[in-house]
A and B are shown apart, each in its own frame.
Chain A
Amino acid sequence: MTTAKIALIASGGANFYSIEMALQRLNVAYQLTNDAKVILAADAAILPGVGSAKYAMAQLAQHGLIDVLQNYRKPLLGICLGMQLLYEASAEGDVPCLGILPGKIQRFSSSLPVPHMGWNNLLLERPSSLLTGLDLNQEVYFVHSYYAPVNQVTVASCDYTLKFAAVVEQHNFCAMQFHPEKSGAMGESLLANFVNRVAE
């Protein structure tokens, strides 16, 4: 077990079962919390997210976490909606988000079946230690109706008629649109790469 401790940020209504199970399998100490003090004291943070962007942002504001996350200096991993919250704004509820990453979250065009749901593979956009030792032809599990555009922070993209950001990284912030905690061995390796960063 690493000595690192991860703050798993609880934004209401989400289902933390899978992510908790994955962290337990990786033998990582974590604490489910909304407390800024706990988040700042931890070695890293994970921002999962389920529900609507509008609600999640309101929850973060309610717990005084917007500044805390915007100024976070330790490794932070956003997952699914948690990734989308890192961008400037979301078309889901037309809400401003954390503005840590450049770009706006869009809805998939109405001609595509939503949600984009199921297994899909990643396309490398630029190298990152997050992808160390990974075979990008292995698929990961997506469920989402909104997406982030491919831009300078995109490490890997995914193709669902259009290319969207699947793994992103900027300084200490990284994020994944798919669910690593539901993506089998591939997802586990991605989470392990994040955890290893924390341990370093």
Chain B
Amino acid sequence: MIIYPAIDLRDGKCVRLYQGDFTQAKTYSHNPATMLEVFAAAGGQWVHMVDLDGAQQGQLQQGRLIGSLIRESKLKIEVGGGIRSSEDLNSLFTYGVERVVIGSIAVSQPQLVNSWLQQFGNERITLALDCSIATDGIPKVRTHGWQAHSHLSVMELLAMYPTIKYVLCTDIAVDGTLQGPNLNLYQQIQQAYPEIALIASGGVGSLADLQALKQLQLHGVVVGKALYENQFTLQEALAI
């Protein structure tokens, strides 16, 4: 299982949000380059990076910073946040980004995102879904501005992506809480789409959480706040 330490960039700093809420952002480091060095020194291979300003404004904002961070680091990096066009993908790949993370536009424009999968291949794109579990137990997709009128389930959305490989799924109810990931959600997705390389995100608070995810044989897991709040070290996580 690949551990993806998370770096969420807001105005050039490393922050974490609580349950995706921009008003509840906490700054952990003013220097993302240092964070990358720390993760690399611990033996990490990958980093999951989000341009929060880009996600909020619907357009990549910190591309140049991301480019310079990648030049100085040996880590493989997947980047998301406000990516809206194939030009965005092209420029991120030029910066040396390994995979581009596609979020809300995957819900609003599946044909466009499928055309990117065809153009760039399914090794270069991660589909990132935020979801919340409805009262009937069905995981429903949530996107910025879509909350009110989307009844789309995670399974329905994935059915629109016949060639997708990497899928990152976040249960926003547990994101940033350290209360443990939604194991049931990942199990459901894996059963429905066994060919998908599934990446868990949200809620990891302990090494036991990572062990539980590993038992599900997930492809990977994004770890954010737990590392920044020193619940465990990246070295310990990688040793699992």
Contact = CB atoms under 8 A, between A and B. Distances in A.
Given A13-B155, A92-B162, A115 B114 contact: yes
Interface string A17-57: 11000000000000000000000000000000011101100
Tell me whether chain A's interface is mostly helix, strand or loop, or mixed: loop
Contact of B156 (A50, A54, A110, A113): A50
Contact of B191 (A55, A93, A113, A115): A55
Interface stretch (B7-15, B20-28, B63-71, B192-200): B192-200
Interface in B130-161: 136, 138, 140, 151-156, 158-161
Interface in B108-145: 110-111, 114-115, 118, 136, 138, 140
A92 B196 CA distance: 13
B123 to A, nearest CB: 16
Contacts of A144: 159
A114 B152 contact: no
Interface residues of B, number: 25
Given A51-B192, A81-B159, A15 B110 contact: no
A18 to B, nearest CB: 7
B188 interface: yes
A144 B140 CA distance: 18
Interface residues of A, number: 26
A15 B193 contact: no
Nearest to B196: A52
A185 interface: no
A113 B193 contact: no
Contact of B159 (A12, A16, A107, A145): A145
Contact of A17 (B114, B151, B154, B161): B151
Contacts of B193: 51-52, 55
Contact of A12 (B152, B161, B188, B194): B188
A14 B155 contact: yes
Given A13-B154, A17-B136, 16 more contacts: A12-B188, A14-B153, A15-B138, A15-B151, A50-B155, A51-B159, A51-B193, A52-B158, A81-B159, A115-B114, A117-B111, A117-B160, A143-B159, A144-B159, A145-B159, A145-B161
